[in-house]
Amino acid sequence: MITQKMKYALKALLVLADEAGQAAPKSLTIEEIAKRSGAPKRFLEHILLEVRNAGVIASIRGRSGGYVLIKKPTDISISELLRTIDGPIAPLPCLSRRAYQRCEDCVDEASCRIRKIFAEVFWSYLLIIDSLTLEDMLRSSAVADQVIGA
């Protein structure tokens, strides 16, 4: 399950991606991103700082300052965003690629039935989530808008 923080990050990035796709894109203030995304401004400040530190967006100072997307939506991995915002995505610490830890109560990982069943589910999930980008979410939104508007 993704956290509310991750949902706000995705909503903000979708707003920035929509703006980047305009004929004359401009940087957006936190207030404007909050308004367009429906995410609370007080949470966005911290979230956008993390996303900026991950190299996905940039902040521009000055009168016409704000935030802009600096990566193409096709280059923004949903699984990397998840890890940046929420941390490890594995259901068990012994299945994590980047934050592996042996389970405290585990006697033998090779014969652990809990680990085996969750590993199967998790690897299937990883195949899908590792292939998704922000562009997929933008396309998904466009398709949904066409279906709803039809």
From 67, 62, 76, 54, select the one nearest 25 (Cα to Cα).
67
The angle formed by the CA atoms of residues 25, 27 and 29, to the nearest 5 degrees, is: 140
Contact call for residues 139 and 112 (beta carbons, < 8 A): no
Q: What are the residue boundaries of the structural domains of the chain, listed by start?
A: 4-73, 90-132
Per DSSP, helices labelled H in 54-132 are 78-86, 113-129
What does the chain come to in residues?
A: 150
Q: How many C-beta atoms lie closer than 10 Å to residue 33's C-beta?
A: 25
pTM of the model: 0.83
pLDDT of the chain along its 150 residues, tens only? 889 999 999 999 999 999 998 887 899 999 999 999 999 999 999 999 999 999 999 999 888 789 999 999 999 999 999 999 999 999 988 998 888 888 888 888 888 999 999 999 999 999 999 999 999 999 886 544 554 454
Q: Which CATH architecture has domain 4-73?
A: Orthogonal Bundle (1.10)
Q: Which residues pair with 82 in a beta bridge?
A: none
